[in-house]
């Protein structure tokens, strides 16, 4: 009986671990594809501007909040008063600010480079966890984060800064990854008792309020009416909002609660592989050096996520 129970528990644990990695890969595919969607929403096939970066960020938050609004209505009364400020942190700092920072940077950086820079998220997650929340990280996890970071930086060096010398655009993504580090640590330390679906719906609703006010002051209606690619750009943003924001945030918050912030944020080490894949399809180069950097990144992910023996 004891061995039978042990066997059942082992299988449950093993299946749970497999599920964690499946979600991690699904998130990598979803978020890794978001950079090319932002690029398509910003410019038409000829390279001419369509939607403004701020409009894309606003639409992303508003569409996401609208899709999950029925959930927000049901979850509103289930949230404690003390939780609202932390949900605001997740919504504004974890979603609202990074959304515009990424779209601003996408005007000057290749989508593959933007995806690689996003791999700084685990580093900020680790630093905030140790310095602010007094979490203890194993030497293996620290080494894994540093190895992944080396791979990401190497990939930036191989790719270069994109088609321009606007390094400030890279700095915008660095700030966005800092915001992600704050958000994921907030979820694990302050909102671990709240359902991921409720966190996603309410945080997006809070982020959408200021963005919707801004959106009404822009020329969005004129762009949709007059630009030949206006509605196709809107379609890219809607796809990004539904899959890259709503669905992905739910899975990401669930993974953060199920495992830990560092494991969940390690998805950003896998995202560059997807972003580079889209870049290749979009005409960007992929060499042996790119492959070597990708292998280094994967080694970092393995060290961060590998269980103790």
- 37 is a domain residue: yes
User: 20 in a domain, yes or no?
Assistant: no
Judge contact between 103 and 277, C-beta under 8 A: no
How far is residue 107 from each of residues 49, 52, 125, measured CA to CA in Å?
9, 10, 27
199 falls within a domain: yes
Whether residue 15 is contained in a domain is answered as no
Tell me what pLDDT residue 211 has. 93
Q: How many domains does the chain have?
A: 1
pLDDT at residue number 72: 95
Q: Is residue 14 part of a domain?
A: no
Which residue range is the domain that position 106 belongs to? 31-305
- Per-residue pLDDT at 308: 55
Q: Does 12 fall in a domain?
A: no
Angle of the 139-159 helix axis to the 121-131 helix axis, nearest 10: 150
Q: In this structure, what token pair is assigned to residue 244?
A: 């890259």
pTM over 0.85: no
Predicted pLDDT of residue 69: 96
Q: Please indicate, yes or no, if residue 9 is contained in any of the structural domains.
A: no
The tokens of 144 are what? 């894994």
Residue 26 lies in a domain: no
Per-residue pLDDT of the chain (309 residues; tens, 9 = 90+): 434 443 444 345 556 778 888 898 999 899 888 888 988 898 888 888 899 989 999 999 999 999 999 999 999 989 999 999 999 999 999 999 998 998 888 777 776 677 777 777 888 888 888 888 888 778 887 888 788 778 777 766 775 544 444 567 778 888 998 999 999 999 999 999 999 999 999 999 999 999 999 999 999 999 999 999 999 999 999 999 999 999 999 999 999 888 888 788 878 777 877 877 787 777 766 678 877 877 887 787 677 666 554
The rounded distance, in Å, linking the Cα atoms of 305 and 269 is 11
- Tokens standing for 131? 């310095």
Residue labelled with tokens 């996890």: 141
d(CA 178, CA 176): 5
Would you state the pLDDT for residue 305?
61
CA torsion through residues 140, 143, 149, 150, sign: negative
In this predicted structure, what is the pLDDT of residue 109?
74
């Amino acid at each position: 009986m004891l061995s039978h129970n042990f066997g059942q528990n082992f299988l449950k644990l093993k299946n749970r671990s497999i599920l964690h990695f499946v979600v991690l890969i699904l998130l990598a595919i979803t978020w890794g594809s978001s950079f090319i969607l932002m690029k398509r929403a910003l410019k038409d096939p000829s390279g001419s501007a369509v939607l403004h970066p701020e409009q894309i960020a606003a639409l992303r938050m508003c569409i996401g909040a609208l899709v999950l609004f029925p959930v927000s209505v049901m979850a509103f009364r289930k949230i404690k008063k003390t939780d609202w400020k932390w949900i605001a942190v997740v919504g504004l700092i974890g979603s609202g600010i990074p959304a515009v920072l990424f779209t601003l940077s996408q005007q000057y950086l290749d989508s593959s480079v933007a995806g690689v820079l996003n791999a700084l998220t685990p580093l900020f997650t680790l630093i905030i966890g140790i310095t602010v929340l007094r979490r203890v990280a194993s030497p293996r996890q620290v080494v894994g984060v540093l190895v992944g970071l080396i791979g990401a930086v190497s990939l930036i060096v191989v790719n270069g800064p994109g088609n321009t010398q606007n390094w400030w655009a890279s700095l915008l993504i660095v700030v966005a990854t800092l915001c992600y580090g704050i958000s994921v640590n907030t979820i694990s330390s302050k909102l671990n008792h709240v359902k991921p679906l409720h966190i996603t719906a309410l945080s997006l609703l809070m982020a959408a309020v200021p963005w919707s006010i801004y959106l009404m002051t822009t020329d969005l209606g004129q762009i949709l009416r007059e630009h030949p690619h206006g509605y196709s750009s809107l379609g890219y943003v809607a796809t990004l909002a539904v899959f890259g924001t709503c669905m992905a945030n739910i899975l990401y918050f669930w993974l953060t609660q199920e495992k830990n912030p560092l494991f969940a944020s390690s998805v950003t080490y896998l995202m560059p592989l997807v972003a580079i894949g889209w870049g290749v399809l979009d005409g960007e180069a992929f060499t042996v050096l790119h492959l070597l950097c990708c292998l280094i990144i994967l080694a970092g992910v393995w060290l961060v996520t590998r269980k103790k023996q």
